[in-house]
Amino acid sequence: MGGAKRLPRRKEERILCMKRTALIALIMVLVLGLLIGCTPKPETPPTDGSDPVKTDGPVVTDPTPVELEKVRIGALPYFDYTLLIAAKGVGLDREMGLDFEIIPFPLENVAVQALINGSIDIAQGAIASFYPVWPNAPELRVFLNNDQTMGFTIVARADSGIKTFAEFYEELDGDYEAARTAALAQMKGKSMATLESVYLGTINGALAAGGLVAGDLEIMNFANDGQANAAFQSGECDLYMGGMNNTLLLLEQSDKYVSLAMGDQMGIGGFWLSGSGTTEKYLEEKRDTVMKVLAVHYRAAELLKKEPENFVPYQLEYLKEHASSDLTLEQGIWAMQEMVDFQTLDQSLATIYNTESPIYWKHYADYYLDQNYSSGAIPEGSIDLAKVVVQESLFFEFLQHEDLVDYVRNGLK
């Protein structure tokens, strides 16, 4: 029968193969064009806070979670308030899904004002330093003990003829009480540069331990630590009590300055706790966030003791900018180990929140509350400690969160 001729089998297969290849190529071109047309140009985050600007450059993605909860933290220019700063520096806040925004303040009262008006979420400060502002800020609640400060020091000039506690201790064959009394009794008739609002309770405790009363020492009150330190160095007064960073720098010049007494050598007034506060409303509405902040704090305390070289640089950087401090890494590590004790979770359980411990937090809080009442700084009975200091109950509540406790001890898994 007649009909169209068939192509040889091999030639027919080649043609079919060419058609399939052309069809696949066409489909790929169409798909590629569709993808290019639908893909937005990458955006580069601006530095001025405006909307992102489109660019043809590559996009660098941030591996951290997109949804981070911002926590605005007021920080003071002292060692005591730098642990959360270091925690942010090494990224612990992000591990808990938080983003710490550190906002500097010179003193507690200014930070509390910002807390009350809603500008920040956490105001750091010592319980004793919160006392004068509490009557006007009844919603303030202390929820965390940051650390125990052991660096309170009465600094004197080496050539003043004043003997130090250490010298008396040796002369009196190790009689601690007698050495303390003798050393502190030398303050009679002297003048001291300080911040009265911060250190008055400590000074009064030192006077009492030396057998003296308030009028025996002339207190020169200054607006900030830098001014008090400058007045002392210029010779305007005999003694100085101030911030840890300036104290450390003075004592490094052992040919010029000496420690008359330090820490417990000054009596109960030398025992000091620094903490963090927020509002009652924030505690109620952001309970989970508060627990996460506690987790970051205690995880940082664990790591600071194990890896100070990774944390202290962030602390020193903040102090350099906000306290005119220029300590070396070695000096900073020494200060963190000897002058400030950021208690770990287990240490806090054994000391600060142990009613049998000599450094149970309430011993300190009661002493300084009595100081404020007796000095007339606040009306008698105006503060209910059980209501406004909730750090102990929050601590034991935190211990019930097994996942957070495990994170503190072992980190992310």
* 69-149+272-410 matches 153-270 in fold: yes
The per-residue pLDDT for 66 is: 61
Which amino acid belongs to residue 145? N
Helix (H) or strand (E) holding 275: strand 272-279
The per-residue pLDDT for 9 is: 42
Task: Tell me which residue of 162, 102, 104, 110 sits closest to 132, measured CA to CA.
Answer: 110
The per-residue pLDDT for 333 is: 92
Q: SS3 of 251, please?
A: helix
Residues of the chain predicted below pLDDT 50: 1-61, 65
Which amino acid belongs to residue 404? L
User: What dotted CATH number matches 69-149+272-410?
Assistant: 3.40.190.10
Distance in angstroms (rounded) separating the CA atoms of residues 142 and 275: 7
Structure tokens that stand for 321 in this block: 């900018």
DSSP string, 302-333: HHHHH-HHHHHHHHHHHHHHHS-----HHHHH
Q: Which long-range contacts (CB under 8 A, 24 or more apart) does 105-113 make?
A: 105/74, 105/75, 105/76, 106/76, 106/77, 106/224, 107/76, 107/197, 107/198, 107/224, 108/76, 108/133, 109/133, 109/197, 111/74, 111/76, 112/137, 112/140, 112/277, 113/137
Q: Where are the domains of the chain?
A: 69-149+272-410, 153-270
Task: Tell me which residue of 197, 340, 331, 193 sits closest to 262, measured CA to CA.
Answer: 340
Q: Is the overall model pTM greater than 0.85, yes or no?
A: no
Structure tokens that stand for 122 in this block: 């956490």
Distance in angstroms (rounded) separating the CA atoms of residues 198 and 402: 37
- pLDDT tens-digit map of 356-384: 987 899 998 998 899 889 888 899 999 99
- Report the topology of domain 153-270: D-Maltodextrin-Binding Protein; domain 2 (3.40.190)
Q: SS3 of 219, please?
A: strand
Say if residues 291 and 398 touch (Cβ distance below 8 Å). yes
